[in-house]
Amino acid sequence: MSDIIASSAPRADRLRPATDEQLRWFDITETDRSRAEALAATADELAEPIIEDFYRHLLSFEGARRHFRDDDQIARVKQGQLRYFRELVAAALDDEYVANRRRIGLIHERAGVTPTLYVGAYAYYLHSLGHMVMDRMQDDPARAVSLLLSLNKIAHFDMALALETYVDTREAAIEQREREMSELPTPVLQLRDGLLLIPVVGTLDSFRARNLTVRVLERIRDLRARAVVLDITGVAAVDSAVASHLIQTMTAARLMGATAVLTGLSAEVAQALVKIGVTSEALHTAGDLQHGIEIAERLMEG
């Protein structure tokens, strides 16, 4: 399972610090762990009443109630929560713990449990437990506070793990969508005999640019095209790298015997590219689409 998480978010994984580094960031020491463990017996005993209380709170919210199908499911989730809070005070904070916490975060994210619901539930648990522990340790309030503060550190570490998973999952979804978008074949429209229009949209990285070139060449061959209008109105960030890709595509088209004309570049961006050093001849720009088509037609006839 942790493999699945890793493979669905490779980039975030590379950036994520190791577990001991994270513990250091949260300043969680051996002392904190043993203090949290000292709370284990109390937490165990109190977990059920806290969780019962929490569900009364939770189920008074219409939006939260919709997460549950039936009482059976509520019972199962309560069980899971008992285990979750027991591990908070008892489990070793190692790689396995982290992987497990991230897995739970993933399940929450998939189930549509929002960060607000998640953090709110956590806060509810912590303050209920806090009150009860203070009540029980009235003879030694200083120790009670130090135990709870240690637990607090671990709880924050825990929440961070879950929230990181939320973010990673969303990022992976965005990347996935971008990848799917970039794999969509660019449409090649035949405006009339021998004249092709290719509207390029989105970003143009080298992978996409290569696909574009291959496709343009195929269509020129299949349709015996003599002119190609490449419209980049929908390309979001035109710079020298994109210009380089476009020049390569257009050069390839010309080598196949078709005239290539570029349209949809704003005057200001075209100016900026020229100042950067991209020669306008290489790009062969023709202003707007209408003008580009006229030029292409003239070039075909001439």
Nearer to ligand ATP, 205 or 294 (CB): 205
| Nearest-approach distance from CB 109 to ligand ATP, in angstroms | 33
- One of 243, 253, 283, 286 touching other proteins (CB under 8 A): 243
Residue 275 near other proteins by CB under 8 A: yes
Nearer to other proteins, 10 or 187 (CB): 10
Contacted entry of ligand ATP, other proteins, none for residue 237, CB cut-off 5 to 8 Å set by kind = other proteins
3-state class (DSSP) for residue 18: coil
- One of 41, 59, 134, 237 touching other proteins (CB under 8 A): 237
The count of residues in the chain is 302
Nearer to ligand ATP, 73 or 279 (CB): 279
Nearer to other proteins, 79 or 206 (CB): 206
- One of 41, 123, 237, 241 touching ligand ATP (CB under 6 A): 241
Q: How is residue 226 annotated by DSSP?
A: S
| Nearest-approach distance from CB 248 to ligand ATP, in angstroms | 12
Nearer to other proteins, 18 or 59 (CB): 18
Q: How far apart are CA 86 and CA 37, in angstroms?
A: 10
Q: Do 226 and 195 contact (CB within 8 A), yes or no?
A: yes
- One of 7, 29, 73, 240 touching ligand ATP (CB under 6 A): 240
Residue 203 near ligand ATP by CB under 6 A: no
Q: Is 206 exposed, middle or buried (0-12, 13-18, 19+ CB in 10 A)?
A: exposed
Q: How far apart are CA 283 and CA 292, in angstroms?
A: 13
Contacted entry of other proteins, ligand ATP, none for residue 278, CB cut-off 5 to 8 Å set by kind = other proteins
| Nearest-approach distance from CB 254 to other proteins, in angstroms | 18
Residue 273 near other proteins by CB under 8 A: yes
Q: Do 215 and 189 contact (CB within 8 A), yes or no?
A: no
- Among residues 34, 22, 115, 126, the alpha carbon closest in space to that of 84 is found at 126
Instruction: Name residues contacting other proteins, limited to 145-174 (CB under 8 A).
Output: 174
Residue 244 near ligand ATP by CB under 6 A: yes
Q: What stretches of the chain show up as alpha helix (H) in DSSP?
A: 2-8, 10-15, 19-25, 30-38, 40-59, 62-65, 71-90, 95-110, 115-136, 141-183, 206-223, 240-255, 267-276, 280-283, 289-301
Instruction: Name residues contacting other proteins, limited to 180-209 (CB under 8 A).
Output: 203, 205
Q: If DSSP states are collapsed to H, E and C, what string results for 28-77?
A: CCHHHHHHHHHCHHHHHHHHHHHHHHHHHHHHCCHHHHCCCCCHHHHHHH
The DSSP code sequence of 74-106 is: HHHHHHHHHHHHHHHHHS--SHHHHHHHHHHHH
Contacted entry of ligand ATP, other proteins, none for residue 178, CB cut-off 5 to 8 Å set by kind = other proteins
- One of 48, 239, 288, 294 touching other proteins (CB under 8 A): 239
Residue 236 near other proteins by CB under 8 A: yes
- Among residues 289, 134, 133, 130, the alpha carbon closest in space to that of 200 is found at 289
Residues that bind other proteins (CB under 8 A): 11, 15, 174-175, 178, 203, 205, 236-241, 243-244, 247, 266, 268-269, 271-273, 275-278
